[in-house]
Amino acid sequence: MERTIQVLNALEHDGLYTRYAIGGAMGALFFMEPLLTFDLDVFVQFPLTAGGLITLVPIYDALKKRGYSEKEEHVDIEGTYVQFLPVHNPLTEEALKEALDTQFGETPTRVFHPEHLMAIMLQTGREKDLQRFAVFNQQVKVDAAYLNDVLTRHVLLERWAQWNR
């Protein structure tokens, strides 16, 4: 996966997106026990365009030039199935903006804060998110004040309260 991250860094350097961070199950993996997933979810922020339109085509084209093939909504980058997800709401925008700088092997990368990962799991609310949330909540020590701020800002306190009932 390190070579995959090197490609993600190169795309950011080349301006295909202004910033990226790992989220989803692989983001959670940085903090919790291993869990089965087949996707590396990469959240990206695009440069602003005049028309305000977002398209992943330039990323796919750049990857194709580097020899990486697109398969449905994924791209196989150095043996890892990557899904690029544009930040799509205030919570994911904030998660990307505040993402943690970290390392994979010797390669720098970014991952969402555990508190943002929790908030996104609550917000998304699919069964698999809530199952992951339960384990994450048991295993990961989070900053309670920071989590409370995130949940308040993104109107998720009620879901959090429902979870705790």
Sites of contact with other proteins (CB under 8 A): 1-4, 29-38, 71, 74, 76, 78-81, 102, 104-105, 135, 139-140
Half-sphere exposure of 155 (CA within 13 A, CB side): 2
Residue with tokens 């990206």: 44
CB-wise, 73 or 149, nearer to other proteins? 73
Q: How far is the CB of 45 from other proteins (least distance, A)?
A: 23
Nearer to other proteins, 105 or 125 (CB): 105
Nearest approach, Cβ of residue 31 and other proteins (Å): 7
Rounded alpha-carbon distances, angstroms, from residue 67 to 7, 14, 76, 77, 122: 11, 16, 10, 9, 37
Question: Which of 90, 105 has the CB closer to other proteins?
Answer: 105
Q: 137, 157, 42: which is closest to 95 by C-alpha?
A: 42
